[in-house]
């Protein structure tokens, strides 16, 4: 979790990155996943989920330790951060695909919103702890300690997965064809499943709009907060930590709201809150003073992250219930790949936009994209609600 802060901070403060550099770093984070997610999904659908999660954790720990090694010996270069971000992005996607498929296979459909909300709450707690300490650790102990703590957390995650039951992978269907050709065919099956289901198609469009907004924010947010607003790193860590509190709120209300409104309408509410919270960022300005700036950034973290988590819980639930059981990871991977390709394109354009027009303009456009996603979801999903799964 700390690498989400440490790597951009290293780029911005140690390597003097430009907005375009930050965009390239974000591109690197999703490039490996964008290129491999579809085949990863097909492979995960035929592999024990726990094994995938353990290997992903070990791989992330190794990548983070490699960056820390370069810091120790003063050989760090921007391309090393890019490589680490790309590898970490692919491994994170593999972990999340396997985890989501494991939950869908192991839990009754009616229990999925609650379980997904619990997962979101656990993630927000770890985010709160990491972000609350991350800024101070980076500021007082440097990049090395922040990276090493994150590497250790990945190892601990792999160790904790020992007690997770290994679900049975799909039966082997490669007796008359190569594994590579089988994976290609199964990948196409996942794409076809998304195209054939109207609700999954709508989720795909929403995912791309959110990815575009997140990508724009990713190229500009840290630069805007650090350089334009002058918020100290320690304060940043504490502000970011409140995003974990917002996520906890979203996770806490998600099951009840889903039961009352249905997953589709609850997802729309989450998108509205996300757009409203994100709009607080460009409203922050130096003339407000540090206290005023911090108040708006805190409001963004609480409202925006609550909405984002609320959306994520019900988006994940819809994916798990609408996808064919044998193609859980492939459908998820298809949707993620659309988002990752969008992120790649917009990160490059966003870096150029922020360089030419300023980081604040990019953040305004980010909030507008989230609002568009909410309007589209209300149009395509709001008028239809299936009965809760039983």
What CATH number does the domain containing 101 carry?
A: 1.20.1250.20
pLDDT of residue 183: 57
pLDDT of 28 over the 90 cut: no
pLDDT of residue 375: 95
Compute the distance between CA of residue 380 and CA of residue 374 in angstroms, rounded to an integer: 10
Is residue 155 assigned to a domain? yes
- Alpha helices (H) along the chain: 3-9, 19-44, 49-72, 78-106, 112-141, 143-160, 179-196, 198-223, 233-261, 263-278, 280-283, 289-299, 305-322, 328-357, 359-380
pLDDT of 39 over the 50 cut: yes
**Which residue bears the tokens 């911090």?**
294
**Which residue bears the tokens 């990508």?**
215
Compute the distance between CA of residue 128 and CA of residue 121 in angstroms, rounded to an integer: 10
- Give the pLDDT band (50/70/90) at residue 255: very high
Average of per-residue pLDDT values in the chain:
79
Which region among 43-47, 267-271, 335-339 has the lowest average model confidence (pLDDT)? 43-47
Is residue 145 assigned to a domain? yes
pLDDT of 213 over the 60 cut: yes
Other C-beta atoms lying within 10 Å of the C-beta of residue 48: 16
pLDDT of residue 175: 46
pLDDT of residue 390: 36
Q: Are 352 and 20 in contact (CB under 8 A)?
A: yes
Buried b / exposed e along 181-197 (16+ C-beta atoms within 10 A): ebbeebbebbbebbeeb
- Give the pLDDT band (50/70/90) at residue 313: very high
383 SS3 class = coil
Structural domains in the chain (count)? 1
Higher pLDDT, 179 or 249: 249
- Give the pLDDT band (50/70/90) at residue 134: low
pLDDT of residue 118: 77
Compute the distance between CA of residue 345 and CA of residue 362 in angstroms, rounded to an integer: 14
Average pLDDT over residues 123-152: 64
pLDDT of 389 over the 50 cut: no
Average pLDDT over residues 196-205: 89
How many residues are present in the chain? 390
- Give the pLDDT band (50/70/90) at residue 105: confident
Which region among 23-32, 47-56, 99-108, 218-227 has the lowest average model confidence (pLDDT)? 23-32
Q: Are 98 and 44 in contact (CB under 8 A)?
A: yes
Which region among 31-45, 162-176, 200-214, 224-238 has the lowest average model confidence (pLDDT)? 162-176
Higher pLDDT, 134 or 176: 134
Compute the distance between CA of residue 90 and CA of residue 97 in angstroms, rounded to an integer: 11
Q: What is the pLDDT of residues 266-288, one digit of tens each?
A: 999 999 999 999 999 999 888 88
Is residue 220 assigned to a domain? yes
% of the chain at pLDDT higher than 90: 18
CA neighbor of 246 nearest in space, from 295, 308, 300, 302: 302
DSSP classification of residue 109:
G
pLDDT of residue 370: 96
Average pLDDT over residues 294-319: 92
Q: Are 22 and 8 in contact (CB under 8 A)?
A: yes
DSSP classification of residue 181:
H
Is residue 178 assigned to a domain? no
Higher pLDDT, 80 or 27: 80
Range of the domain at 70: 3-162+184-380
Average pLDDT over residues 342-346: 81
Most confident by average pLDDT, 89-103, 185-199, 283-297, 320-334: 283-297
pLDDT of residue 178: 57
Is residue 21 assigned to a domain? yes
Q: What is the pLDDT of residues 214-250, one digit of tens each?
A: 888 877 888 888 888 888 877 777 787 777 778 889 9
DSSP classification of residue 387:
P
Q: Per the confidence metrics, is the pTM higher than 0.75?
A: no
Compute the distance between CA of residue 152 and CA of residue 135 in angstroms, rounded to an integer: 18
Average pLDDT over residues 141-148: 67
pLDDT of residue 303: 94
232 SS3 class = coil
Average pLDDT over residues 347-359: 76
pLDDT of 139 over the 60 cut: no
Is residue 386 assigned to a domain? no
pLDDT of residue 3: 61
Is residue 171 assigned to a domain? no
pLDDT of residue 1: 57
Q: Are 67 and 76 in contact (CB under 8 A)?
A: yes
Average pLDDT over residues 108-113: 79
Is residue 172 assigned to a domain? no
Compute the distance between CA of residue 89 and CA of residue 25 in angstroms, rounded to an integer: 11
Q: Are 385 and 260 in contact (CB under 8 A)?
A: no
DSSP classification of residue 390:
-
CA angle, 384 as apex, 378 and 390 as ends, to 5°?
125
């Amino acid at each position: 979790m700390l690498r989400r802060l440490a790597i951009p901070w290293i780029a911005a403060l140690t390597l003097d990155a430009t907005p375009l550099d930050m965009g390239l770093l974000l591109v690197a984070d999703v490039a490996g996943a964008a290129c491999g997610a579809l085949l990863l999904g097909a492979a995960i659908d035929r592999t024990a989920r726990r094994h995938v999660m353990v290997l992903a954790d070990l791989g992330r720990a190794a990548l983070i330790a490699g960056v820390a090694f370069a810091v120790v010996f003063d050989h760090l270069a921007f391309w090393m951060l890019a490589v680490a971000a790309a590898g970490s992005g692919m491994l994170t996607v593999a972990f999340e695909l396997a985890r989501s498929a494991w939950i869908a296979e192991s839990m009754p459909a009616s229990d999925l919103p609650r379980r997904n909300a619990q997962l979101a709450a656990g993630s927000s707690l770890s985010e709160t702890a990491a972000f609350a300490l991350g800024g101070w650790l980076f500021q007082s102990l440097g990049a090395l300690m922040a990276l090493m703590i994150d590497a250790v957390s990945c190892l601990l995650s792999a160790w904790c997965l020992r007690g997770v039951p290994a679900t049975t992978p799909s039966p082997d269907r490669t007796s008359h064809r190569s594994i590579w050709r089988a994976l290609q065919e199964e990948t196409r099956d996942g794409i076809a499943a998304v195209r054939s289901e109207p609700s999954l198609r709508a989720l795909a469009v929403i995912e791309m709009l959110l990815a575009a907004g997140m990508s724009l924010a990713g190229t500009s947010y840290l630069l805007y907060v650090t350089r334009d607003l002058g918020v100290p790193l320690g304060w940043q860590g504490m502000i970011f930590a409140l995003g974990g509190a917002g996520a906890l709120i979203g996770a806490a209300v998600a099951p009840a709201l889903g039961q009352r409104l249905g997953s589709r309408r609850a997802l729309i509410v989450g998108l509205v809150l996300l757009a409203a919270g994100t709009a607080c960022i460009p409203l922050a300005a130096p003339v407000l003073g540090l206290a005023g700036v911090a108040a708006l950034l805190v409001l963004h973290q609480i409202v925006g992250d609550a909405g984002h988590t609320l959306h994520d819980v019900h988006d994940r639930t819809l994916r798990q219930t609408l996808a064919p059981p044998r193609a859980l990871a492939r459908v998820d991977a298809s949707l993620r790949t659309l988002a990752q390709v969008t992120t790649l394109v917009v990160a490059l354009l966003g870096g150029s936009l922020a360089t030419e027009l300023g980081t604040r303009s990019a953040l305004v456009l980010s909030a507008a994209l989230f609002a568009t996603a909410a309007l589209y979801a209300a149009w395509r999903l709001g008028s239809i609600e299936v009965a809760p799964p039983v």
